């Protein structure tokens, strides 16, 4: 590899310096480097959840289409909120924004866009993206972005699960109050390759109170949390199919005869921007409050909605439990 002539002339001069002079030169270069190229930025990493398993099961063509859906959404996110994509290697994307507010709003927009897009895809082809947000000083020339803050942000994204957004304390401190109140503390953790402990919060991108968080099965007394990382949630008696989970919420009763009255896949919830919609998958009618749904019909679901399943089981949707004390601007991380 050839060396630029200007660099070679500098190396020739350095070779004539003593140890003390070389160390002094290093310090001067470091100060100049940070003065010219060091700047604070909001850093964002996004990553497609389960992409390796998806490629293995559905093949390279389907896998590439899944990654393309993420890449297109990430590019649109960055453009819409004043950021730019730095890298899209593998199944993730790395973007930078001038401030944490725009970066956080961009991630909320990204998750909402993906959720809307998922509505036209079957359960097994849902796109889930986890994200990390960090605020820190990087070295950048307007194209390349590097520094310890980049590594931290990548590790933060690795910690997120499902369609979650994890935010560092440094980024949280830069957020306005309307975004801070949507954050909840995540147990402190050590990020891989990061010596110091990093406190994280989760930014809730779904509008609080719009989606029931639990279902109660009245006949069995079970209280089951609804998955927060899925935009399509299936209910039915079948636990698994072909070695894979068949339903997200398995509906069963102590009496096997009554359980068989429930269809293998009985109904599903779709997470719409305005709230959940229930769709009847069964050949028998589904009673939702005072409304009878025939096969394929839909209606809205909200906290308090009751669903009669085959006349043997009653499913009641409920609100989340009371929130922990408001984090808002009082949270000190």
Find the DSSP H helices in the chain: 5-14, 19-37, 51-80, 100-118, 148-159, 169-172, 177-180, 256-260
| Pairwise pLDDT comparison (144 vs 182), residue with the higher score | 182
Q: Is the pLDDT of residue 326 over 50?
A: no
d(CA 193, CA 305): 47
| Pairwise pLDDT comparison (126 vs 255), residue with the higher score | 255
72 in the same domain as 149: yes
| Pairwise pLDDT comparison (63 vs 6), residue with the higher score | 63
Q: Is the pLDDT of residue 28 over 80?
A: no
Among 101-110, 197-206, 320-329, the range scoring the smallest mean pLDDT is: 320-329
User: Would you say residue 265 lies in a domain?
Assistant: yes
193 in the same domain as 219: no
User: Would you say residue 161 lies in a domain?
Assistant: yes
Q: Is the pLDDT of residue 332 over 50?
A: no
Confidence grade of residue 145 (pLDDT, cut at 50, 70, 90): confident
> Which of the listed residues 144, 177, 205 is the one where a domain comes to its end?
205
- Residue 239: predicted pLDDT: 92
Report pLDDT digits (tens) over 155-175.
988 888 788 999 999 999 999
Instruction: Say which residues have a Cβ less than 8 Å from residue 41's Cβ, sequence separation at least 6.
Output: 96, 97, 98, 135, 136, 137, 138, 140, 145, 149
63 in the same domain as 159: yes
User: Would you say residue 175 lies in a domain?
Assistant: yes
- Residue 111: predicted pLDDT: 92
Q: What is the DSSP secondary-structure string of 133-171? A: EEEEEEEESSS-EESHHHHHHHHHHHH--TT-EEEEHHH
176 in the same domain as 283: no
Q: What is the DSSP secondary-structure string of 294-306? A: PTT-EEEE-TT-E
> Which of the listed residues 205, 228, 250 is the one where a domain comes to its end?
205
Among 32-41, 128-137, 254-263, 288-297, the range scoring the smallest mean pLDDT is: 32-41
Tokens in use for 182?
């949507």
- Secondary-structure percent of the chain, ordered helix, strand, coil, rounded to 5: 35, 30, 35
Domain count, the chain: 2
- Residue 267: predicted pLDDT: 97
Contact 252, 217 (CB under 8 A): no
Confidence grade of residue 124 (pLDDT, cut at 50, 70, 90): confident
Q: Residue 128: give its domain's CATH number.
A: 3.30.70.1230
Q: Is the pLDDT of residue 266 over 90?
A: yes
Q: Residue 221: give its domain's CATH number.
A: 2.60.200.20
- φ, ψ dihedrals at 25, nearest 5°: -65, -40
198: left (phi over 0), alpha (psi -120 to 50) or beta: beta
User: Would you say residue 47 lies in a domain?
Assistant: yes
| Pairwise pLDDT comparison (162 vs 189), residue with the higher score | 162
Confidence grade of residue 122 (pLDDT, cut at 50, 70, 90): confident
Confidence grade of residue 148 (pLDDT, cut at 50, 70, 90): confident
Rounded mean pLDDT, 185-205: 78
User: Would you say residue 89 lies in a domain?
Assistant: yes
User: Would you say residue 8 lies in a domain?
Assistant: no
Domain with 110, as residue range(s), is 38-205
């Amino acid at each position: 590899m050839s060396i630029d002539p200007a660099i070679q002339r500098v190396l020739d001069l350095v070779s004539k310096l003593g140890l003390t002079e070389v160390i002094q030169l290093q310090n001067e270069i470091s100060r100049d480097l940070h003065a010219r190229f060091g700047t604070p930025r909001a850093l964002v990493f996004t990553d497609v959840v389960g992409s390796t398993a998806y490629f293995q099961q559905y093949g390279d063509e389907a896998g590439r289409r899944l990654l393309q859906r993420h890449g297109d959404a990430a590019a649109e996110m960055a453009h819409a909120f004043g950021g730019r994509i730095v890298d899209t290697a593998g199944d993730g994307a790395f973007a930078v924004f001038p401030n944490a507010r725009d970066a956080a709003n961009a991630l909320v927009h990204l998750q909402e866009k993906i959720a809307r897009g998922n509505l036209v895809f079957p359960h097994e082809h849902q796109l889930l993206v986890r994200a990390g947000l960090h605020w820190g000083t990087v070295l950048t020339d307007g194209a390349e972005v590097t520094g310890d803050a980049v590594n931290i942000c990548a590790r933060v994204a690795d910690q997120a699960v499902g369609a979650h957004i994890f935010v560092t304390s440094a980024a949280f401190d830069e957020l306005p109050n309307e975004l801070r109140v949507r954050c909840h503390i995540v147990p402190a953790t050590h990020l891989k390759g990061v010596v110091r402990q990093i406190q994280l919060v989760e930014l809730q991108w779904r509008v609080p109170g719009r989606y029931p968080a639990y279902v109660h099965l009245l006949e069995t007394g079970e209280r089951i949390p609804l998955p927060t990382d899925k935009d399509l949630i299936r209910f039915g008696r079948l636990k698994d199919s072909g070695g894979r989970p068949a339903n997200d919420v398995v509906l069963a009763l102590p009496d096997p005869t009554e359980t068989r009255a429930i269809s293998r896949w009985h109904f599903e919830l779709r997470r719409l921007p305005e709230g959940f919609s229930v769709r009847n998958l069964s050949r028998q009618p589904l009673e939702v409050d005072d409304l009878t749904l025939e096969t394929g019909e839909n209606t809205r679901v909200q906290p308090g909605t009751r669903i009669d399943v085959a006349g043997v089981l009653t499913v009641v949707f409920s609100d989340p439990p009371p929130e922990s004390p408001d984090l808002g601007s009082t949270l000190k991380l």
